[in-house]
Chain A
Amino acid sequence: MDKFLVFTIVGLSTAAIYAVIASGLVLTYTTTGVFNFAQGATGMLAAFAYWQLRVDWGWPAPLALLVVLGVLAPAFGILLERVIMRGLEGTSEATKLVVSISLLVAMIGLAQWLWPPAVSRTVRPFFGPSKITLGPTTVTYHQLVTIAVAVAVAVGLRLLLYRTRIGVAMRAVVDDRSLARLNGARTALVARTSWATGTALAALGGILIASSAGLSATALSLLIVNAYAAAIFGRLRSIPLTFLGAIVVGCTDAYLSGYLPTSGSLARYLPGLRLAAPVILLFIILLALPNQRLRSHVRTREFFPAPSRRGAMMFAGFTAAFGLVLVTTLSRSDLTGYAKIFSIGIVALSLVPLVGFAGQISLCQLSFAGIGAVVMAHMGAGGNPLGIVAAMVVCALVGGLVALPALRLSGIYMALATASFAVFLDRWIFNLPDFSWGPVHIGLFGAGTIDVAPLRFFGTSLGSARAQMAVAVVVFVAVAILVMFIRISSFGRRLLAVRDSEAACATFGLNLLGTRLAVFMLSAAIAGLGGAVYATQLSSITATNFDFFTGLPVFMMVVVGGAGFVGGALFAGIGLYGFLPAVAAIWPPLAKVQTLTPGLIGISLGKQPSGAAPQFSAGFADLRDDTPVLARTIFGLALAWGLRVADVYQGWGMVAVMGVVFVVGLAAARTRGDRRRGVELRAGEVPVSEVPLEWMGLSVPWTAERLAEVDRRLNLEEFFPLAAMDKREVVDAAS
């Protein structure tokens, strides 16, 4: 009984912290529509800031608390709202999610940069170890303070929302943002207030938990993932239910740590269960959510046009050539690092049909890759290529198994379900020792690492780093072509249709679940393929190669690159495993902030929700369409490569020559393009009818021909024969 009481108190004090953090999350989500994945990381940063003031600089605790909670945290929240979140209105859930994930990644990067993890730091509990006796058990002051703080937060939020003017406005915004705005609610002020409050609550939770959980940037950010389960318990709306959810999560955790058997035949499989319990709870709560309404009237700023035949061929050709150049010119040691561009690139490609076309969200693609890698290690023994097939099949099945219960969910709930699956694998399944299930022997990462044999085709081992990278390039290009084909296929059109309006698709008789299941399984299979290829490159794999945090930047960079384009996946591969390492190699100081960069790039997404790929492709459009210049540029690039292969110069020499050739080619194509457009303009050959009338003179120059066109399309001359006469004067006046 005493033991039960002890663990109940431990559970309640943990629950109190989750409740504080989760209520901040609910507040910002309901009032601004942004699910802040960085809520935990915000608390983590606050805990570090508190450590800095309190421990490192020796400030008294009340002053340090006042500065962090009363000044720094709210100011940070207002800054976030002003600089980042405001730009997200009208973007898809994937975009919003990426921005807050980027924030999370950037905050972890920032914390590790400012407070290097090598140094050990501790925050002492409030009032040290002093405790009071409460019947048969004792309670520390810290636990009492924590629980009291949660009660105070609950009361305070209730008063804020129901007794103040701004609180009433906040609740109005939750019900109907545009209506609230029409009725004079100051939505900007509401957003600012809720971000300031939400951030302060995260900070409060972070400081309270730091003394027991320890100051580690990733652990703190992830530990607070547990708070998400509480928030979902309140369906991201109800603060009282959120508190209840926090108690369930906190106490489950405490009782598991108290009562899980530590000896016996099952014991060695169980330690991970306690760690995984909150995410299992999260998954169960998600499944218990009522059916969501069919999505309709999704209006987003993203636009993903279909690739043209020429564009698709160019992309495949360019990527293959780029791969060929890398394969033939990189040193052995560089090859292993840069080969990830293509193997992780395949995992990135798996997101294009899912996120880009179908508008679904999955945060566990790298976990599927991990499963693919494990299957490859076991089934592909001796380099059997059938291992790859097995990896894809197993991943498709597991993907279906994960997706089937979660398919009713969409948007943020789907994101959380997949995230909890990933964390579930990380914390428990991937750490399981080998086990047998009847006649089936299942081995995962065994003792921590397992070896993967290089692929063998027709007796030839593809064991060298060069051969492995070549394999990855070939597979990447093949999958990219497949994905581009899907975009123009009947299946791809259907995915885009589901993305825009599930309601409309249902009224045509579409089986929505089947369609979502198909795309999820396809995507999981592609991720598994990527994982298998990646595993052969690594030759020995561990669970951390495929954990949730490693996967987040991949998701993020694909969306930043353009989730609806294969170019987005290439962008992610090159960005994460090509560009950043290369820059860090050239200029080492940058390596320190390298953890920060992907986050910063992601945060900029609000400005350009369709991603970077369409901008690249617009920039290269002239070159793409100008066959003579294109042929010469390709010849120049090939020559530069040939000289390198003939050892005329070293790697950077080739890069420089190629850069010059490319810039010259691009400039030439642009000049010719401009001249051609100029000629067409003079000849009046621009297909004027493609320009909406109201854009005449804005998107295209204003000329006499345009004026005539406007008159003709408005049928003006029928009514006002004079208009024809005035035309010259108008144009003269305009010029």
Chain B
Amino acid sequence: MPLLDVTDITVRFGGSMALNSVSLTAEPGQVTGLIGPNGAGKTTMFNVISGLQQPDSGSVVLDGTDLTRLSPTKRARRGLARTFQRLELFTMLTVRENIRVAADIHRSWSKSKVDAAAQVELIIERVGLGDVADQLVTAVPTGQARLVELGRALACEPQVLLLDEPAAGQNASETERFAMLLRELAADGVAVVLVEHDVKLVVGVCDVINVLDFGRVLAVGNPAEIQANPSVREAYLGVMAESP
């Protein structure tokens, strides 16, 4: 049984079907990609998994426990963490303080004995925010602000990490570095779920890729299978396929 097992999720917003019976699994040690054109339902899926959006039907099971009726807070305490595509940073705090808030909150409910301040420094080092740690989070560029979100999620020492477009706004070398970080996290035993538009990053880093289109699962498979899938090419990578 997979660590994260999301089954047959359906979400309606008024008349439109945002998610139509979508399933997704994630395993520790793997990076699972969730891709699709804008409006495909990727962020809604993350909201359902993290509990910010109640699905009309379907279930979210983590490590054998049904989370579907639990609040976001309870889910977080069972080991789910996420970042937000539209940044949800604490605007009056510095980069370091933003991560510290998450570390302190994690400390308040977990049994962890690790010193929060030391853990924050390790995370800052790991995600590469040392240069801007004392700047206000509103003053750093978007690419780095997304790393702050990642750092906060890491401070919760999650089993499952949902990353919503974490690499947007990064340049080529930053993205390369970021891909390595993702592989490291997976190697540590975290189940990483990645929503991302940068196809090169997704193909390079993911073990399994789920393709969403108009709220439905279009395809699931390893990167090679997805690249070879004609309907994915048509719906999503059509333009890429024509370029040499």
A interface residues (Cβ-Cβ under 8 A, vs B): 293-294, 296-297, 299, 303-305, 490, 493-494, 496-497, 499-501, 503-512, 564, 692
Contacts and interface: CB of A to CB of B under 8 A. Distances in A.
B90 A510 contact: no
15 contacts: A297-B86, A303-B92, A490-B100, A496-B90, A500-B92, A504-B84, A504-B90, A505-B105, A506-B73, A506-B76, A507-B76, A507-B80, A508-B155, A509-B109, A510-B105
Contacts of A692: 139
B73 A510 contact: yes
9 nearest CB pairs, A to B: A509-B76, A506-B72, A504-B88, A501-B88, A508-B105, A509-B77, A497-B90, A508-B102, A497-B101
Interface string B71-96: 11100110011101010111111000
B156 A509 contact: yes
A564 B91 CA distance: 13
Contacts of A505: 101, 105
A301 to B, nearest CB: 10
Contact of B101 (A294, A304, A493): A493
Contacts, number: 92
Contact of A508 (B84, B89, B93, B152): B152
B73 A494 contact: no
A494 B101 contact: yes
A490 B91 CA distance: 16
Given A294-B72, A508-B106, 16 more contacts: A296-B52, A296-B84, A304-B92, A490-B100, A493-B100, A494-B101, A494-B104, A500-B91, A503-B84, A503-B88, A504-B89, A507-B50, A508-B101, A508-B152, A508-B156, A509-B77
A504 B88 CA distance: 6
Nearest to A357: B92
A692 B135 CA distance: 12
Contacts of B155: 508
B27 interface: no
Q: How large is the interface on B (under 10, 10 to 19, 20 to 34, 35 or more residues)?
A: 35 or more
Contacts of A507: 50, 52, 72, 76, 80-82, 153, 156
Interface of B: 50-52, 71-73, 76-77, 80-82, 84, 86, 88-93, 97-98, 100-102, 104-106, 108-110, 139, 152-153, 155-156
A296 B88 CA distance: 7
Contacts of B105: 494, 505, 508-510
Contacts of B89: 500-501, 504
Contacts of B101: 493-494, 497, 505, 508
A310 to B, nearest CB: 18
Contacts of B98: 497
B88 A297 contact: yes
B73 A501 contact: no
A429 to B, nearest CB: 35
A305 B136 CA distance: 10
B36 to A, nearest CB: 22
A504 B82 CA distance: 9
A496 B92 contact: yes
Nearest to B98: A497
B91 A493 contact: no
Nearest to B156: A508
A297 B153 CA distance: 17
A513 to B, nearest CB: 9
A304 B90 CA distance: 12
B84 A509 contact: no
A500 B88 contact: yes
Nearest to A511: B73
A497 B89 CA distance: 8
